[in-house]
Copies of this chain bind each other. A is one copy, B any other.
């Protein structure tokens, strides 16, 4: 990148970069990024770097004197870019292929420049109220009732943690003051989720001092959905044993297969047993804004808290997780603390620091607002609809192939499958090895990137579609690369 005109400018010893230099350097970056968006397909999706390679290419200590932006950006291109796994590549199909859309990226530029800290209403009325408004827009699109108040956290793991902080505060409000151990008559608290629930729930149980043992993993049906019967049985057995149910976490769009837990039945149980119901829609929830797919959120209106991550499937750059809670006051009562130096005179305002662990809060609502306005509800719906269509398409190719086998239903945009070559009968372990080998070879090609999971103990390949730039041609490439690569694995070639 060429930003040389400021190379020799004398720098003031205690000022920021000159605004003219900022602007000129920024233009160089915009040009680079525009080309990056246009030509992202030219990069290998998965970085080809070896462990330690980037570290070794960087100096071991900070420079004493300042460098020019030109030198910095040259090193960015030379050293760092080859070490990127391209999440923005339209043939990135691993994990959940989160994408920042261009309007979201532009909003992040403003966010960084304004550097708002929205801990208190007065430290950024605009960030505080926009967060309220834009989450209310999203709430309506998700068809959640008005009682749900929203706040943005940095990710689904944080949102799940906050849901469980609230659930704990509801089950045992005194824990805030005296802790878990001090109340000798407090029964053990338990969290119920399925075997397919995201690991952040277990991590939250560790953090909260409940321990992994407090997480009861309910069995799933053949479509990887939590069994309400097994849930009810577990709750009743626990109650009989003196254990207090604290929360049930249902998932709309699990990480491995995108399965959708039967929330209506689970909500029935939670209401009858008076247990906090949290719905993790970090990935899948976004699809509920599409009328044709809105059924995936059936029953969710009855939950106590819900999470949907705009940085996953609403084209908002990292990080933005929308946490909705029907009983936000319980979270506030359980968590809020105001130091002397944070007291303000305003009454009736919301101070967003009260609903989270984080005090430093970026102006994240700006990018969500920009994305929702630029695409409109319709534009967002079209893109999500198309991703689900592409996943169905890919699934139909798998189903029609003799050498591949689909391993789970495809309610959203994730396809789980494996190679089962007809040419040779393989043991279950042999199939695992083959598919693991296939995935490494496919990813090493640089053409596509897929990830894997395990289903019923067996290795499964996993193709997920959430990237705003992914089209049918890209999934066709994935299918071609998979078949060609399989055919080239000597021991299994047909």
Contact = CB atoms under 8 A, between A and B. Distances in A.
A453 interface: yes
A291 interface: no
Interface in A102-127: 102-106, 108-117, 121-127
Contact of A23 (B31, B71, B124): B31
Interface stretch (A150-158, A218-226, A476-484): A150-158
Interface stretch (A174-182, A269-277, A322-330, A485-493): A174-182
A345 interface: yes
Interface in A318-360: 318-319, 321, 334-335, 337-343, 345-346, 348-349, 357-360
Contacts of A422: none
Given A54-B125, A339-B255, A109 B117 contact: no
Nearest to A133: B58
27 contacts: A15-B468, A16-B469, A19-B37, A22-B33, A33-B109, A47-B124, A54-B133, A62-B138, A63-B377, A67-B376, A83-B129, A84-B126, A84-B127, A85-B124, A100-B115, A105-B112, A116-B318, A154-B154, A155-B358, A175-B206, A176-B212, A177-B212, A204-B357, A209-B210, A340-B452, A341-B454, A343-B452
Contacts of A186: 181
B362 A319 contact: yes
Q: Is the interface of A mostly helix, strand, loop or mixed?
A: helix
Given A52-B129, A213-B179, A16 B33 contact: no
Q: Specify how many copies of this chain sit in the oligomer.
A: 2
Contact of A133 (B37, B55, B440): B55
Contacts of A348: 51
A105 B188 CA distance: 48
A26 B30 contact: yes
Contacts of A20: 34
Given A19-B38, A22-B34, A376-B63, A181 B181 contact: yes
A375 B66 contact: yes
Given A54-B129, A72-B103, A180-B181, 7 more contacts: A17-B102, A72-B373, A115-B317, A155-B359, A179-B205, A182-B213, A204-B357
Contact of A180 (B30, B52, B209, B374): B209
Interface stretch (A195-203, A229-237, A292-300): A195-203
A46 interface: yes
A205 B337 CA distance: 12
Contacts of A65: 376, 378-379
A4 interface: no
A154 to B, nearest CB: 6
Contacts of A64: 376-378
A136 interface: yes
A367 to B, nearest CB: 8
A373 B175 contact: no
A54 B350 CA distance: 13
Contacts of A98: 115, 117, 360
A49 interface: yes
A358 B282 CA distance: 13
Given A37-B22, A103-B69, A200-B359, A211 B55 contact: no
Given A16-B102, A54-B130, A256-B341, A379 B11 contact: yes
A263 interface: no
A448 interface: no
A22 B203 CA distance: 39
A30 B23 contact: yes
A47 B133 contact: no
A31 B202 CA distance: 47
A132 interface: yes
Contact of A462 (B124, B341, B382): B341
A79 to B, nearest CB: 8
A21 interface: yes
A38 B204 CA distance: 45
A203 B337 contact: yes
A301 B214 CA distance: 37
